[in-house]
A and B are shown apart, each in its own frame.
Chain A
Amino acid sequence: MGILNLAALWMAWTIPVLVALYLLKLRRQDRVIPSILLWQKMLRDTRANAPFQKLRRNLLLLLQLLVLLAVLAALARPYIQWRQASVSRRIIVLDTSASMQATDVQPTRFDAARARVRDLIDAMRGGEELMLIEAGGRTRIASSFTSDRGALRAALDKVVVEDAAGDLAEAASLAISVGKTQRECEVLFFSDGSNANLAGLQTAGLQAQFVRFGESGDNVGITAMEVRSGRGMDRRPQVFLTVVNFSAEPKVVDLGFYLDGTLIETRNLALDPGMESRQLLQRPAPESGILEARLEVEDALSVDDRAWAVLYPGRTVRVLLASRQPDPFLERILLLDPRVDLSRVEMGLYDPAISGFDLHVLKGFSPPAPPSANTLLVAAQVVEWAPIQEVKERPLIVDWNRNHPVTRFCQFDGISLESAVIPQLPAWGEPLVESQEGAVIWAGQNGIQRIVSVGFDPLQSNWPLRVSYILFFENALSWMDVIAQADQIRHVRAGQVARFQADAGVPEVVVSGPDGFRRRLEVGLDRTVLLSDTMRSGVYRIEGMDEPWVFCINTLSRVESAILPGEKIDFGRHGELAAGTVQPAMREVWRWFILCALLVISFEWWVFHRRAWV
């Protein structure tokens, strides 16, 4: 038993006030009677029969004091540690996604949820075990099943809310799969339920509860930001931005753009409920620096009110073309992009390890070793380093990926091929255009290297006569554009792994970020640096290389910005879990005190009207 609101006990001054008021007694009506002899006799009898007559004389006062004490006790919010469920094991899935930073529940949804989990830990009984799963950008088991409250509290203290979009489904899948292996196990979801579509997960035979945190959906946020630095002839940076009003009321917000902390432009946006505003910022001249977009708005979630981008001047894309025979079509297409600085080399002189080129375009042959840069293979041949391949005659194109950046807007129907190399794709490869026998065009990213392979010679098909031929190569060049890649590398979404390429000979780098973030990272064999701890948005710097590398981590999640708490967790055809309240570990019992006060006050009313005392 404990008290949550100790300050309420200050109200105890009302007790002497009540006594004082009672001492002022009610005004009685005078009534002359023949003699008080009989009344005295009655009083004598009453006193003789009841030893607590003095107490009874003040019964009303006592009852009123009892009511007052009950009300004071209720105001003090007493609680008992008590729980109804009788499960021996509990799995707590604690949502740490960005939306849990919303302040519609004080101090935040996450803090409220964590406090509730702490209550649950405090109320654990002997033999009861608890497992804690963190459902943020990545699912993490904060604590496996244990009955050690200290360890659980320590694990809980280490759980922090992230700026990343959460994946409740993954955490729920883990919790449910673990829960089903246990007897008498219950899964508790502590979440705002704003992204609680867990269709496909089966909770049958498992106790589960959804404890919802959150009250409103009042939020305006930046849900998308894309930067194109140094593109085009004039190399002017372009910033695309999307601002969405998720609240139910119209909002007027100021969108400010800051370059290296200096305000360069402000826009006033009037947003109706649910309205999406797309903004384009074009700078007049090539420039570099950290661009910050900042929304000046009072809403429940602040993490999506800021987004950062790295601007830097662009440069020429150096392309090395090596072909078995000259291909004027291909050369013309490559030269369509004014940034391209095309170099040609004969097939026999081609060295896969040659440096200084951003893109290798190989036509009609495959080198004995994989190239060191991004590579576009056209009419690729069977090689040892490439996946197992076989040549198919007259393959018939049956389907293509319409969503991949390389094949977007391209139509491949009606294209006749003479022959094509059909590979067995590596794990990182993705088929783009498929025939009955397999992929005739595929793409993939191996580490930081991107490869697009066209398994047939376009000149041996009717493809060059189609518009899709030009579109395909334009898309492929854009996708493999190192500058565009750099844009992507410099802009990471919170929760995603940031991948960089260190300078040659650098054994380790130091990454520093907001809130004193600092990590020392080893450089991999392929000069790759991986940073997985990307849960906090902001501007990060990598030191230890020839030139400091700056990148930004942004939340940019429409799902997280839509903070309206969900009413349920939807398990699709397996049902749904309505939001409820887990039987609080610290069960507040003020209602019982109020009930007692009502009962006593009713009794007092009855006594008053019965006047069963003198």
Chain B
Amino acid sequence: MATITFDTEFLRRLEQLQLVSRKLFRGAGKGERRSRRRGLSVEFVDYRNYVAGDDLRYLDWNLYGRLDQLFLKLFEEEEELRVTFLLDTSGSMDFGTPTKLAHALRLTAALTYVGLSAADTVRISSFAGEMRDVERAVSGRHQALRVFRALESLEASGPTALNAAVRRLVTKVRIPGLAIVVSDFLDEAGYEEGLRQLLGRGFEVAVVHVMAQDELDPRWGGDFRLVDSETGQVREISMGQTTLARYRAAVEGFCGELEQFCTSRGIHYLRTLTTDPVDRLCLDSLRRMGLMR
């Protein structure tokens, strides 16, 4: 079980960031995010005709004086952003140095801290064979430590079932928000259906594709009997230069397809290796891709 700790300086810098969504979502409560709802903030947005029963405090009396018609001033509503993390805890995540799961947990923890610091509501679900809620809609920075401990308790096992997890998620979530899927996407059933469902449900989706260096560029050669850590399937293979080159091409093709799938649908895509420092990812990569600012 990996311990998730960040130094104070990093946390302080995270506190200055916030997760960004291109869409405007409705929130369940007050927050610091613009909402599609018209609310009571100080930011004027629009007018609409007065309807009986409207709060007279928001009538534009100056306009009434000029036009002799009643218009109601509409202000932005500032609500919370609902951030949902879908964290892959399948058996394939238990590879790499450090493991893909450890890297995903640290990254999720950092992003959670950003969300909690920005008064967003954070929900963390893990999926392997089945979906499991790690944290149900927490908000407030004081929840961070608890969330961290909850994350630390996660272990990698079982097969990947992203599509099934998303199906369950969309049925459970009433209000969509920002969905961040952290996974290696090594799912025999594919990832396309799940991501499409998230988009269809109205989520703004960000994909963090976690890969291990050894997975991207294996450094072992010889005659092997490859055993799938999730399914136990076996393939015999003789690793040589040509095979390695073909494998690298296959990996690049796989990653490229995923990235193409995401970018063509407005999904944020970030590929990260387990060796990438989380602070650099948060302070640099994620900001550049527009998921944080």
Please give the residue numbers on chain A whose beta carbons come within 8 Å of chain B beta carbons, in ascending order.
26-43, 45-46, 609-614
Do the beta carbons of A611 and B241 come within 8 Å of each other?
yes
Do the beta carbons of B236 and A31 come within 8 Å of each other?
no
For the A-B complex with A45-B253, A613-B238 known, give 5 more contacts whose Cβ atoms are closer than 8 Å.
A31-B224, A32-B226, A34-B92, A38-B186, A612-B240
Do the beta carbons of B229 and A33 come within 8 Å of each other?
yes
- Does B288 have its Cβ within 8 Å of any Cβ on chain A? no
12 residue pairs of the A-B complex, CB under 8 angstroms, read: A30-B227, A33-B226, A34-B93, A34-B215, A35-B228, A39-B226, A40-B235, A41-B250, A42-B250, A612-B242, A614-B238, A614-B243
Closest to B218 in A: A33
Closest to B238 in A: A611
Within 8 A of A (CB), among B197-243: 212, 215, 220-231, 233, 235-243
Closest 6 CB pairs of A and B: A611-B240, A34-B92, A42-B250, A35-B186, A612-B242, A611-B238
CA distance A359 to B100 in the complex (A): 129
Closest to A30 in B: B225
| Secondary structure call for the A interface | mixed
Known contacts A40-B235, A612-B240, A613-B238; A31/B225 CB under 8 A: yes
- Does B95 have its Cβ within 8 Å of any Cβ on chain A? yes
Please give the residue numbers on chain B whose beta carbons come within 8 Å of chain A beta carbons, in ascending order.
91-95, 100, 160, 184, 186-188, 212, 215, 220-231, 233, 235-243, 246-247, 249-251, 253-254
Which residues from A are CB-within-8-Å of B92? 34-35
CA distance A38 to B254 in the complex (A): 8
- Least Cβ distance of A603 to chain B in Å? 14
Closest to A29 in B: B224
Closest to A42 in B: B250
Known contacts A42-B246, A610-B240, A611-B243; A35/B229 CB under 8 A: yes
Q: Which of B220, B229, B238, B239 interacts with A34 by CB under 8 Å?
A: B229
CA distance A611 to B221 in the complex (A): 9
Which residues from B are CB-within-8-Å of A27? 223
Q: Which of B222, B229, B240, B247 interacts with A42 by CB under 8 Å?
A: B247
Which residues from A are CB-within-8-Å of B229? 32-35
Which residues from B are CB-within-8-Å of A611? 221, 238-243
- Least Cβ distance of A290 to chain B in Å? 82
CA distance A28 to B237 in the complex (A): 8
Which residues from B are CB-within-8-Å of A35? 92, 160, 184, 186, 188, 228-231
Known contacts A611-B239, A612-B242; A38/B250 CB under 8 A: yes
CA distance A610 to B250 in the complex (A): 19
Known contacts A28-B225, A29-B224, A39-B226; A34/B240 CB under 8 A: no
- For B92, B187, B235, which residue has the most chain A Cβ atoms within 10 angstroms? B235
CA distance A30 to B220 in the complex (A): 12
| Secondary structure call for the B interface | mixed
CA distance A410 to B220 in the complex (A): 102
Closest to A45 in B: B250
Known contacts A31-B224, A32-B229; A45/B249 CB under 8 A: yes
Which residues from A are CB-within-8-Å of B239? 611
Do the beta carbons of B247 and A38 come within 8 Å of each other?
yes
Closest to A60 in B: B238
- Least Cβ distance of A39 to chain B in Å? 6
CA distance A104 to B88 in the complex (A): 85
CA distance A37 to B186 in the complex (A): 7
- Least Cβ distance of A44 to chain B in Å? 9
- Least Cβ distance of B290 to chain A in Å? 29
- Least Cβ distance of B212 to chain A in Å? 7
Which residues from A are CB-within-8-Å of B251? 38
Which residues from A are CB-within-8-Å of B187? 37
- For A33, A34, A610, which residue has the most chain B Cβ atoms within 10 angstroms? A34
CA distance A613 to B188 in the complex (A): 24
Q: Which of B222, B233, B242 interacts with A36 by CB under 8 Å?
A: B233
Which residues from A are CB-within-8-Å of B230? 34-35
Do the beta carbons of A30 and B186 come within 8 Å of each other?
no
Which residues from A are CB-within-8-Å of B238? 611, 613-614
Q: Which of B100, B223, B227, B249 interacts with A33 by CB under 8 Å?
A: B227
Which residues from B are CB-within-8-Å of A31? 220, 224-227
Which residues from A are CB-within-8-Å of B212? 34
CA distance A35 to B242 in the complex (A): 20
Do the beta carbons of A34 and B186 come within 8 Å of each other?
yes
CA distance A60 to B232 in the complex (A): 28
CA distance A609 to B226 in the complex (A): 19
CA distance A43 to B184 in the complex (A): 20
Do the beta carbons of A610 and B227 come within 8 Å of each other?
no
Do the beta carbons of B236 and A28 come within 8 Å of each other?
yes
Which residues from A are CB-within-8-Å of B224? 28-31
Q: Which of A26, A37, A609, A614 interacts with B237 by CB under 8 Å?
A: A614
Do the beta carbons of B223 and A26 come within 8 Å of each other?
yes
Which residues from A are CB-within-8-Å of B250? 38-39, 41-42, 45
Which residues from A are CB-within-8-Å of B95? 33-34
Which residues from B are CB-within-8-Å of A39? 226, 235, 237, 247, 250
CA distance A33 to B233 in the complex (A): 10
CA distance A612 to B246 in the complex (A): 10
Do the beta carbons of A41 and B253 come within 8 Å of each other?
yes
CA distance A327 to B3 in the complex (A): 150
- Least Cβ distance of B278 to chain A in Å? 21
CA distance A38 to B240 in the complex (A): 16
Which residues from A are CB-within-8-Å of B233? 36
